[in-house]
Amino acid sequence: MGDLRYGENPHQRGALFAEAAGPGVLGGAEVLQGKEMSFNNWLDAWAAADLVHALPDGACVIVKHNNPCGVAALGDPAASYRGAFACDEVSAFGGIVAFRGSCDEAAAAAMREVFTEVVIAPWFTDGALAAFAERPNLRVVRAPLDQPSGWDVRTLPGGALIQDLDMVRETRADWKVVSSREPTAQEWRDLELAWTIAWRVKSNTIVFVKDGATVGIGAGQMSRVDSSWIAARKAGERAHGAVCASDAFFPFPDALEVAADAGCSAVIHPGGSKGDEDVLAAAEGRGMAVVLTGTRHFRH
C-alpha cells in the first residue's frame, strides 16, 4: 500500500502491504482522519482490534506497545472506556483504543482529555466523528473487526514459522472446577472475561478482573510470579474481590499466592503442571475457587 515514514524506529525503513486477493489491511480499514498511520500504529491497532473482536458488544480495549493495558466489557462504550482507562491511567497515555460495535459521542467525550494515538471501531456515530474532528491529529480508523482467518506466519532469517491461528474456542462447558468451592455468578462472569483477555496479553500473563473490567495486568515477564506481582501492584486495593487468570499453568504456588494475598477470590488457568496439587492446596487454604480450562494460550 505504500511506504511509511519509518519502521519500528526512525532509523528503520517501513512499508505497508496488502494481500492482492484480500479485502485489505485489517479487513479493509479506512483512516477517516488524523496524522499518517505509523508502523507501530498499525501493529497496535491490530492488537487492540484482535482482542476487542472476541469481547461482547460495547467492550473497549486500550493497547500500549502491543499489550492491553486496560479492558472493560460493561455493555456501553463510554462506560467500558472509563473502566478500561481506570485500570492503568499512566500506561493508557498515548495508547490505541478499540471498541466492539459503535463508538458514540459519549465515548468520544470520555476520551476527550486523554492523549490517544488511534481509535478504531467498526463504525462511528456522527456525533463521535464531530467530537474527534476537534482533535485533528487523532487517527480515527474504521475497520470491520472480523474474526481473522488463515495462518499465523512469522519470518526467520532464511525461512518462516507457520502455525494455525490461536483462538479461544474452549467454553465454560469445557472447564472444570477443581476447588471445593464453586465460583459465584459474578466470579464466573469475570473469570470468562479474564481468560479471554489473557489470551491476547504477551506471556507470561497474569490478569486481574473485577466487575467486568481489568484492574491489573502483568505482561511479558520471564517469570510468572513477576507478572503476578505487577498485576497486584497495578491493582492495589482494587484486587480485593477480583479474579485472576493465567495464560499457562502455575508451575509453583508462588504466583497464585501473590494474587490471593492481593485479594483475588478465584483463579482460572489451564492446569497440567506437576505442581497442580500444591497450587490447588494453596488456593484451598485461602478460600479461592479454582477453574481449569485444559488449554494454554502462550503469546510470544
Report whether 190 contacts 211 (CB < 8 A). Answer: yes
> What integer pLDDT is reported at residue 8 of this predicted model?
97
C-alpha cell at 292: 481449569
Domains of the chain: 2-142 (3.40.140.20), 172-292 (3.40.140.20)
Q: What is the per-residue pLDDT across 106-117, written as a single tens digit (0 to 9) for each?
A: 999 999 999 999
Q: Where are the extended beta strands (E) located within the chain?
A: 2-3, 15-16, 30-33, 60-64, 67-72, 95-99, 102-103, 116-121, 123-124, 139-142, 151-156, 159-164, 176-177, 206-210, 213-218, 243-246, 266-269, 289-292
Average pLDDT across the chain, whole number: 96
- Cis omega (within 30 of 0) on the bond before 67? no
Q: What is the per-residue pLDDT across 208-224, written as a single tens digit (0 to 9) for each?
A: 999 999 999 999 999 99
> What integer pLDDT is reported at residue 24 of this predicted model?
87
Distance between CA atoms of residues 117 and 102, nearest Å: 19
Percentage with pLDDT > 70 across the chain: 100
> What integer pLDDT is reported at residue 173 of this predicted model?
93
Helix runs in the chain, H state only? 39-53, 77-87, 89-92, 105-110, 126-133, 185-198, 224-235, 254-262, 276-285
The arithmetic mean of pLDDT across residues 57-83, rounded, is 98
> What is the longest distance spanned by two Cα atoms in the chain?
58
Closest by CA to 92, choosing from 107, 103, 81, is 81
**Residues sharing a CB contact under 8 Å with residue 25, sequence separation 6 or more, in sequence order:** 1, 16, 18, 42
- pLDDT category at 68 given cuts 50, 70, 90 is very high
> What integer pLDDT is reported at residue 176 of this predicted model?
98
228-232: long-range contacts at Cβ-Cβ below 8 A with a sequence spacing of 24 or more?
A: 228/254, 228/255, 228/256, 228/258, 228/259, 229/258, 230/206, 231/206, 231/207, 231/259, 231/262, 232/208, 232/258, 232/259, 232/261, 232/262
Report whether 218 contacts 227 (CB < 8 A). Answer: yes
22 vs 298, more confident: 298
pLDDT reading at 1 higher than 80? no
The arithmetic mean of pLDDT across residues 61-82, rounded, is 98
